């Protein structure tokens, strides 16, 4: 799977055992294995959207929000 939307990227990060939070306006991703491949490219391409989503809807940390609180964006918001 090649994630395309910010919420899909966050879900992939969570499945991979990563945690994400926003510190000083920057996205911080922590996890055991280094972040590589298509997921890393998607994170870099969507960094601003991810920061906004995590700050506004997730209390500045992911995981930590239940699925009903964050819905997939509409097709017009999808990237790629």
Structure tokens at 53: 């989503």
Q: Mean of the pLDDT values across residues 17-30?
A: 91
**Structural domain includes residue 1:** no
φ/ψ region of 28 (left if φ > 0, alpha if ψ in -120 to 50, else beta) reads: beta
Number of domains in the chain: 1
Query: Averaged over 17-41, what is the pLDDT?
Result: 88
80, part of any domain: no
Strands of the 26-30 sheet, one edge to the other = 26-30, 19-23, 61-62
pLDDT tops 70 at residue 34: yes
The predicted pLDDT at position 2 comes to 66
Average pLDDT, stretch 35-55? 89
pTM value is: 0.70
Q: Is residue 32 part of a domain?
A: yes
- Region label for 48, one of left (φ > 0), alpha (ψ between -120 and 50) or beta (otherwise): alpha
């Amino acid at each position: 799977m090649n994630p395309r939307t910010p919420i899909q990227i966050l879900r992939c990060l969570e499945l991979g055992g990563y945690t994400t939070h926003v510190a000083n306006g920057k996205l911080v991703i922590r996890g055991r294995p280094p972040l590589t491949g298509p997921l890393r490219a998607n994170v870099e391409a969507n960094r601003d959207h991810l920061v906004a989503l995590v700050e506004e809807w997730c209390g500045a940390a992911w995981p930590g929000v239940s699925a009903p609180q964050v819905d997939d964006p509409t097709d017009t918001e999808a990237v790629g």
